[in-house]
Amino acid sequence: MTGKIPAKEIHKIILNGRITMEEFIAVARYGAVVEFSDSYIERVKKSRSLVEKWVEEGRVMYGITTGFGALCTQIISKEDTARLQKNIILSHATSVGEPLSIEEVRGTMLLVLQNVGQGYSGARIETMELYRQFLNCGVTPFAPKEGSVGYLSPEAHMALLLIGEGKAYLNGELLPAKDALKRAGLKQTDLSSKEGLVLISGTTCVTAMGALALYDMLNASRSADIIGAMTLEVLKGTTKAFDDRLMRIRPHEEQSNTAENVRKLLVDSEIAKHFENYRLQDALSLRCIPQLHGAAKKTLKDALKTIEIEMNSCSDNPIIWAEGDDGETISGCNADSSYVGIEMDSACIAATMIAKMSERRNNRLIDGNISEYPSFLIKNPGLNSGLMIPQYTQAGLLNDMRILSHPATVDGTPTCCGQEDYVAMGYNASKKASQIAEKLEFILAIELLSVYQAHQFMEEGLMPGTASKAILDEIACTVPIMEEDAYLYPYINTLRDLLHSGKIIALAEEKIGRLV
């Protein structure tokens, strides 16, 4: 996706302060092992030593020797600082409903490690080591996903496991926390000063959810170039609309790159060559692929830049600043989720734009008056419905995506007795992005199913491009050409899996080189 080592091929990462999107996905989705570098351990220990020193001195520090939120004026004694941290975990674990996915929780724990590893948080290395073991041993806390405004509640559910409370998954089984820890050979801990606050206050969950969704959107956008080119090919469209001269006079990089992708995909297509002058001009859903896909991909690339910055930031509050005569704690709000939230709201719109064009291309494939193929791509329409109803599925999914594209971040309900009188709502932006990413994959899969079915009606003797043929051959291994109506649900899922896994991109790139 970014020219780096693919996430699937990364089997271990060593945290030293910076990670890439691919490394994040390798851990969250594919179970790569996590280790700490010496510099990571040194930074964590240094900031921790300051917290312990300042607690002993009796300094007044938000969330360490005071209450939280509107209770920040309540002073906590040195003897109660540890109990305060346990209380914040217990009292804040209030999100409800269905749980976050395994990969979303793993991603959040990884970003907690990243957050603390910047050296400004003050948690103990022993506590971070336990989170690291959760990742490496496959112990995943149960964390309900509904009811967060940007942080706190889901993260608190995750942190419960550290103190032997709550529930966790181990080998696919949901167990009481103590049972999961025992089976994994791990022991619970007692949280020390500041640690409860560190574990729940930050953009870790928002960023993890957003990163997973964005990774899938970016891959789907590249798959959309491939599928769009295959639709153009089988609909006898003209490649003239992708001429580089057109792109040069409107020099948006992503537009030019998309046009280049389509040209590379169809450069050796006998079908595209034969029908190059079949029509003077195609419909917008075909000739505007560079313009719309390009605009969407620019938005997604902008979001990637923001997400990677956020992954490598400290979003804690307060921070531990070691410089100066004796250092200090600085209270602010790096935990605000506006950066990620606004980008994910925008990414949702971009993904929906790609989806709406895909649905229109698919409609052209199944409409016999447009495609010049049998209606709904079936030999005996009437008796058979063929691919009539998958387009209904697209329409339903697209309606959902349009609803979900309403920005979450423009809303904000004050909390904490007005102490948090403005709330970014980035959490909901990332949460809906994961739904949109999945729906986009299904919409593209349905278009691909129609492309595959349409090829049986192509004029004999005309071969598709080598990239198209490789993908069509792969589909043929599991999806038959329909002679009459069939149960389509398994085939749609199969094609969606090909998209989600990146297999379609890999097949194309094996034949024509890297897509840009």
Residue pLDDT, tens place only, 272-307: 999 999 999 999 999 999 999 999 999 999 999 999
CA 80 to chain centre: 40
CA dist 248 and 256 (Å) reads: 7
**CB proximity list for 343: less than 8 A, separation 6 or greater:** 210, 302, 303, 306, 307
CA dist 320 and 119 (Å) reads: 8
Which run of H or E residues covers position 97?
Answer: strand 96-99
Rounded percentage of the chain residues whose pLDDT exceeds 90: 82
Whether omega for the bond prior to residue 318 falls within 30 degrees of 0, making it cis, is yes
Q: Looking at residue 71, what is its pLDDT?
A: 67
Is residue 2 over pLDDT 50? no
Sorted by where each starts, the structural domains of the chain and their CATH numbers stand as: 7-201 (1.10.275.10), 210-315+335-512 (1.20.200.10)
CA dist 253 and 488 (Å) reads: 38
The total of other beta-carbon atoms located within 10 Å of residue 229's CB is 29
Question: Helices in 283-425 by DSSP H: which ranges?
Answer: 284-287, 289-311, 338-366, 368-371, 388-404
Q: Which two tokens stand for residue 370?
A: 């447009």
β-pair type (328-330, 319-321): antiparallel
pTM of the model: 0.95
One-letter amino acid of 484 = E
CA distance readout (Å), 96 to 161, 164, 204:
17, 20, 19
Backbone angles phi, psi at 433, to 5 degrees: -65, -35
Residue pLDDT, tens place only, 434-477: 999 999 999 999 999 999 999 999 988 899 999 999 999 999 99
Residue pLDDT, tens place only, 412-441: 888 877 777 778 899 999 999 999 999 999
Sheet holding 173-176, edge to edge: 139-141, 167-170, 173-176
Is residue 90 over pLDDT 90? yes
Q: What would the mean pLDDT of 327-333 be, rounded to a whole number?
A: 88
Backbone angles phi, psi at 260, to 5 degrees: -60, -40
CA dist 39 and 45 (Å) reads: 10
